[in-house]
Amino acid sequence: MSTEFSFTIAATDGAARTGTIQTAHGAIRTPAFMPVGTAGTVKAMLPESVQSTGADCILGNTYHLMLRPGAERIERLGGLHRFMGWSGPILTDSGGFQVMSLSELRRITEDGVEFSSHIDGRRHWLSPESSMEIQRALGSDITMAFDECTSFPADEETASRSMRLSMRWAKRSREAFTERPGHALFGIQQGSLFHDLRAESAEALTAISFDGYAIGGLAVGEGQEAMFGVLDYAPGQLPQERPRYLMGVGKPDDIVGAVSRGIDMFDCVLPTRSGRTGQAFTRRGAVNIRNARHRDDPRPLDEDCACPCCRGYSRAYLHHVFRAGEIIASMLLTWHNLHYYQELMAGLRDAIGGGRLSAFMAEFETLRAAGDIEPL
């Protein structure tokens, strides 16, 4: 537990980088995809299964955990790692995003946000200081500064006002953060789609100095083209030698495009949530297992995939258990999707390490363009 937090870049290929983040609970190979463990569980997966997909780090949601079972309770029980049985690194978000998207009766002031729990309606309070305290209690390896995720679309004045509030909160987050070896605090860039605001935000964060920098306020409805437009310049506004984390992203092609633009870390509910709604990700694009075309198909989702779902089960079986509402459908499809995402990240790391990112991206696109295997 005495490891220093560090980020080492092993190789670059264009704007893309591959390397290793060291934390108190072990290493994170970058580019990294972090499965989301909202309420102390990566839904429908055991922690050892998550690890077996190749995931180094998972994400915990401060908002969900503070409401239930409560951060103090988790601290008394030995922290989030022990509570949920995950021994690797954990990154926690600040709670700000979910306060905006899930809670009710919000009142935002300079000081912080007062809100009602979506579970039982009770009043709660989040501020830079309380968010830091909660994330410390959880035992998070990577703590996120408390920010306001600027809603989309936002005019420049709104985006500016929101970003500047987040920058003041970033400073308060830094001051409230308890330094511990191997534990990091990341700042979050805002500024919506405005180049100048992104630059101002990056300068403000760099002046405060963080262990890593997230790009926030994207993947909120602006579309891939607009997102890539920001990613064409935003990573370059942030320190080269620190990890860059694109929050809440995304689809496989979002990730590939973002990695090629210099992003090192990702999180998204997509592979887990899709697993529970019958959508599987494969190298040849998405497969909707609910579709009747799979009913008699003895083939796996992807014949070249080594995950337990593809090694043991036919599309016909997955179709059946999904239609029958069986829990194993969520278990197998989630496992496959997380495996697919981690294979994608491993492929990206290898390609960057070998200077073959362009070729990797071309093959990625070609396979997806070919589409799913023909029905039998």
Active centre residues (catalytic):
93, 267
- In Å, the largest CA–CA distance within the chain is 61
Q: Is 44 a residue that touches a copy of itself (CB under 8 A)?
A: yes
Omega into 31 within 30° of 0, i.e. cis? yes
Please tell me the total number of residues recorded for the chain in this structure.
376
7 to 26: interface string for a copy of itself, x by CB under 8 A? --------------------
First-to-final CA distance of the chain: 54
Q: Is 317 a residue that touches a copy of itself (CB under 8 A)?
A: yes
Provide the residue type at 358 as one letter.
S
Q: Is 55 a residue that touches a copy of itself (CB under 8 A)?
A: no
The set of residues, in sequence order, having a beta carbon less than 8 Å from that of 156 and lying 6+ positions away, is: 192, 194, 197
Task: Check residue 167 and report its DSSP letter.
Answer: H
Q: Is 138 a residue that touches a copy of itself (CB under 8 A)?
A: no
Q: Are 57 and 90 in contact (CB under 8 A)?
A: yes
Q: Is 78 a residue that touches a copy of itself (CB under 8 A)?
A: yes
What is the residue whose two structure tokens read 């239930």? 68
Q: Is 310 a residue that touches a copy of itself (CB under 8 A)?
A: no
Q: Is 301 a residue that touches a copy of itself (CB under 8 A)?
A: no
Q: Is 331 a residue that touches a copy of itself (CB under 8 A)?
A: yes
Report in angstroms how near the CB of residue 241 gets to a copy of itself at its nearest. 38
Q: Is 199 a residue that touches a copy of itself (CB under 8 A)?
A: no
Q: Are 187 and 166 in contact (CB under 8 A)?
A: no
Q: Please give the structure tokens belonging to residue 165.
A: 């509030």
Q: Which is nearer to a copy of itself, 244 or 336 (CB)?
A: 336
Q: Is 316 a residue that touches a copy of itself (CB under 8 A)?
A: yes
Q: Please give the structure tokens belonging to residue 150.
A: 């600027």
Q: Which is nearer to a copy of itself, 229 or 308 (CB)?
A: 308
Q: Are 86 and 37 in contact (CB under 8 A)?
A: yes
Beta 244-246 vs 265-268: how paired, if at all? parallel
Among 12, 41, 52, 151, binds a copy of itself (CB under 8 A): 41
Q: Is 66 a residue that touches a copy of itself (CB under 8 A)?
A: no
Q: Which is nearer to a copy of itself, 249 or 321 (CB)?
A: 321
Q: Which residues bind a copy of itself (CB under 8 A)?
A: 39-41, 43-47, 68-69, 73, 76-78, 83-85, 295-296, 298, 308, 312-314, 316-317, 319-321, 323-324, 326-328, 330-332
